[in-house]
Structure 1
Amino acid sequence: MHKKTVSRLRRARRARMHMRNLGAHRLSVHRTPKHIYAQIVSPDGGRTLVAASTNERDLRGQLSGHGGNKDAAQFIGRTIAERAKAAGIQEVAFDRSGFAYHGRIKALADAARDNGLQF
């Protein structure tokens, strides 16, 4: 694996262990150059409770442009917050998967916060 990827995964593992000790639901985010994915995972890490991505057929038509930009990340942040509220989840721990907190990751987090998700 590339050194940059190994470093990102090391950061992600360390953060996930801390979240596991807290016992909170996890809002896990992953990004690729073309898409962004978000899911809320149960505290034991065994089940995905809510998920949203720019790769979903229903959401793809509502995006302007492609799924790898800040506008798409904001849209996914709003969507995941709405789905979480519908599932009865109000508070989560933000798992950025080792990615730096800027750009699309920050846009998704801010949109989720603005739509009622607390972390």
Structure 2
Amino acid sequence: MIKPKEKSRFRVKKHLKKVLKRGTPEKPRLCVYRSLNNIYVQFIDDLNNKTLFTVSNLSKEVKEKIQGHLTKIELSKLVGKVAAEIALSKGFTTGIFDRNGFRYHGRIQALADGLREGGFKI
């Protein structure tokens, strides 16, 4: 049986997929997933049903830039900055932010702020 909290999150997620514009090869959809300890962002081209690339706090690009102990929010911001660097190097300057049913608060907001600070437009 699905818990009420999960049920409402699935409903929001389903609604967002209908309402959101689809990602294109020029303007990908940035799908964010937040687990208890990690955060992931995928750049998705919905027209071709392809994941262009993915970045998380487990990626080697992010691990190279970690200095000392970071809180989860600081780590999320760093993931956003690294994702922006990779996206800009691959020629993407803008995208559609899909928070995937998560509230725009805390780590999700920090990731978006990191993307913006890195020069990526949401």
How big is the shift at 1:61? 5.0
2:81 aligns with 78
1:35 aligns with 38
2:14 aligns with 13
- Counterpart CA distance in 1 for 2:44 and 2:5 is 25
- Counterpart CA distance in 2 for 1:28 and 1:42 is 11
2:108 aligns with 105
2:69 aligns with 65
Query: Unmatched 5+ residue regions in structure 2?
Result: none
Under a length normalisation based on structure 1, what TM-score does the superposition of the two structures give? 0.86
- Counterpart CA distance in 1 for 2:40 and 2:22 is 24
Deviations 1:13-47 (A, max 9, x none): 21122224585521110001110001110132611
Corresponding residue pairs, total: 118
- Counterpart CA distance in 1 for 2:54 and 2:22 is 23
* Conservation of the 8 A alpha-carbon contact between 2:22 and 2:29: no
Bigger Rg, structure 1 or 2: 2
Q: Percent identity?
A: 30
2:4 aligns with 3
- Counterpart CA distance in 2 for 1:45 and 1:3 is 34
Deviations 1:49-68 (A, max 9, x none): 121001224533533436x7
Q: 1:45 to 1:4 in 2, by over 3 A?
A: farther
Query: Unmatched 5+ residue regions in structure 1?
Result: none
